Amino acid sequence: MRSSRGVIHADHPWVDAELAWVYDTLSSPYDEDLPWYSDLTTRLHGRVLELACGSGRLLVPIAQAGNEAVGLDVSPDMLELAHQKLACASPSVAERVRLVQGDMRTFALGETFDLAIIAARSFCYLITRADQQRTLAAVAAHLRPGGLLALDLLNPTPTWLLEPPGSLRQDLVHYDSVRDLTIARTETVVSTDFAAQVRMTRSAYEVVANDGSVTKRFVEWPYRYTYRFEAELLLEQAGFEVAGVYGGYQREPFSSWSKWLVMLARRNE
């Protein structure tokens, strides 16, 4: 990590406590996918495993609905935020959740689940096919026969793929009433490697305090996009049967122009 004049450059956002709470603050209002996961957990009403659970945005409502859940994340700082949210919940909710620090490529919990979730495009941070395969194999080993995996991916639309280097978009702005500050994120396309299917993105986070002072943090990260039939093949090779392919969280039909690629896969009996 490098720092100068209020600008912090981080090699990875999840290993920095300040970036963890910035990310949590920006993502906390996001609930587009919550009905989708709530419906899945209600239907199954079983044990849930969420990989890359972060600060518990989904875990808390999953537990509030009466489900037992395990959340796994590589970042101790994100997990600490999840612990804080659970501490504010009722004891009956908190006791239904267990948080584990670990790598989704190599985790081994010694228990099985009815539903596994990889939400918020977290699978896209697995840059190599080998890492994708290792993760799916680990998930399959933790699901009961017939158990479901819910996988949320970005759909690489033609428009998205053709965004040139230097393209900017300010996609998130949120006011934090507790800290009395505003956080905005602006993302820049650094490069797109079409052969490797990797987009390099620079995220600029601006934290504006009530006195007008501004702190900026920059993160550059690779992001691997996966096409529909490629994802289906990866799932089938890991021992899954594809049970649903959708273009959104309302089970919309999937098309070339769908923003998301939302998939359900059932572990083979």
Token digits for 7? Answer: 């600008």
What number does CATH give the domain 31-154+225-267? 3.40.50.150
- Report domain extents, the chain: 2-13+158-224, 31-154+225-267
pTM for the full model? Answer: 0.91
- Which of the four pLDDT bands, split at 50, 70 and 90, describes residue 174? confident
Dist. CA 188–CA 177, nearest whole Å: 27
* pLDDT at 171 > cutoff 90: no
* φ, ψ for residue 61, nearest 5 deg: -65, -30
The per-residue pLDDT for 145 is 97
Whether 58 has a pLDDT exceeding 60, the answer reads yes
Lowest mean pLDDT among 12-26, 159-173, 230-244, 255-269: 12-26
User: Alpha-carbon distance 209 to 64, whole Å?
Assistant: 33
Encoded tokens for 137? 């194999």
pLDDT confidence of 218, banded at 50, 70, 90? confident
- For the ranges 2-6, 22-26, 133-137, 183-187, the maximum mean pLDDT occurs at 133-137
Average pLDDT over residues 52-59: 94
Among 9-23, 106-120, 216-230, top mean pLDDT goes to: 106-120
DSSP label at 129?
Answer: H
pLDDT of residue 124: 95
Which pLDDT belongs to residue 28?
A: 79
Chain-wide mean pLDDT for the chain?
Answer: 91
Structure tokens at 190: 């650094």
Place of tokens 């039939």: 229
Residue 220 has pLDDT above 50, yes or no: yes
Using an 8 Å Cβ cutoff, are 67 and 41 in contact? yes
12 neighbors 75 (Cβ within 8 angstroms): no
Tell me the pLDDT band of 15, cut-offs 50, 70 and 90: low
For residue 3, pLDDT beyond 80: no
pLDDT of residue 123: 97
Using CA atoms, how far apart are residues 117 and 197, in angstroms rounded to an integer? Answer: 23
Q: Which spans in 47-98 are helix H?
A: 59-64, 76-88, 91-94
- Tell me how far the alpha carbon of residue 226 is from its chain's centroid: 15
- Which residue is it, tokens 């584990």? 100
Residue 176 has pLDDT above 60, yes or no: yes
Q: What is the pLDDT of residue 10?
A: 46
Q: What is the CA radius of gyration of the chain?
A: 19
Strands 214-224 and 7-10: parallel
Enumerate residues 6+ apart whose C-beta is below 8 A from 249.
32, 33, 35, 36, 260, 262
Provide the β-strand partners of residue 187.
Answer: 169, 203
